[in-house]
Structure 1
Amino acid sequence: MMLRFALAFAVLPSAVMAQADPPLSASDFEAFVQGRTFDTHDQTGRYGVETFLPGRRAIWRDAEQCLEGTWRPQGDQICFDYQGDPTPYCWTYHDRGDWLMAWLDGDRGTDPILLYPADEVVTCEGYFGV
């Protein structure tokens, strides 16, 4: 998986890559994720999993929390609003075939996250955290 992460970075300068790689629109994002679950990875490995439900709803789970929320478009970003968390999390998502790459606040100067399809369905039922 780390090799896959390393290969995800093109040798193109980020400004050129940004022009050649526009973010997914809200409708394209919705078509890609609805009814699916994705493992979320950063440069250190898998750190969470998210299931995308109809009605632009999502359930996020990691070792510390399980959150239900919604997502909405905001400009070229997809923003997540989770119950109990006042901070929206906004990302630009980019299609990589069968997986997605995303940058927080659309900032390509930071490390992206990678979303790979997963078989499980996330719920918060019975979740106790670690």
Structure 2
Amino acid sequence: MRLSLLFAALIALPLCGAARAETPLTAEEFDSYSQGKTLTYAMGGEVFGTEQYLPNRRVRWAFTQDVCKIGSWYEEAGLICFVYEDEGAPQCWKFWREGEGLKAQFEGDPEGTELSEVAQTDKPLLCAGPDVGV
């Protein structure tokens, strides 16, 4: 009996670690991690886009090879939600730490869009198009 309980506990340990790894970041944790950084995200091994995290929860986002969009973020119901100047609906994500970077999952996407941080710098996002120099 004791051996079977020990075996069950040993099997459950990795599962506990996986659940802990996906504990969503709070707004304060996300802000502390991202503030002053420019993070590049990939989806399925392909670079998806880059976001610069500015003071006061402001952001500058660009899909790869696209113009920059200015926006802001806020926390709602445990999610980090972004609103950009040219889009009305917020885009909400669950962020968590994994390894040395961030992972993010888009809320409400039946396909489960998931992004991984693949690069980080403290340099500003280089913007193509009308927002050059902003």
Cα pair 2:21 2:98 within 8 Å, conserved: no
Structure 2: 5+ residue stretches without partners: 1-13
Q: Could you tell me which residue of structure 2 aligns to residue 122 of structure 1?
A: 125
- 2-structure distance, mates of 1:88, 1:64: 20
Structure with the largest fraction of helix: 2
Runs of 4 or more off by more than 2 Å in structure 1?
16-21, 106-109, 116-120
Aligned mates of 2:55, 2:82 — CA distance in 1: 14
1:94 aligns with 2:96: yes
> Which stretches in structure 1 are left out of the alignment for 5+ residues?
1-11
SS in 2 for 1:30: helix
Aligned to 1:30: 31
Could you tell me the TM-score, scaled by structure 2's length? 0.73
Partner of 1:67: 69
Give the alignment's Cα RMSD to 1 decimal.
2.6
Deviates more, 1:19-28 or 1:68-77: 19-28
Which protein shows a greater Rg? 2
Q: Tell me the matched-pair count.
A: 114
Structure 1 length-normalised TM: 0.75
| Closer/same/farther in 2, CA of residues 71 and 123 from structure 1, 3 Å limit | farther
Residue equivalent to 1:47: 48
Retained in 2: the 8 A contact 1:77–1:106? no
Identity level (%)? 28
Q: 1:20 to 1:51 in 2, by over 3 A?
A: closer
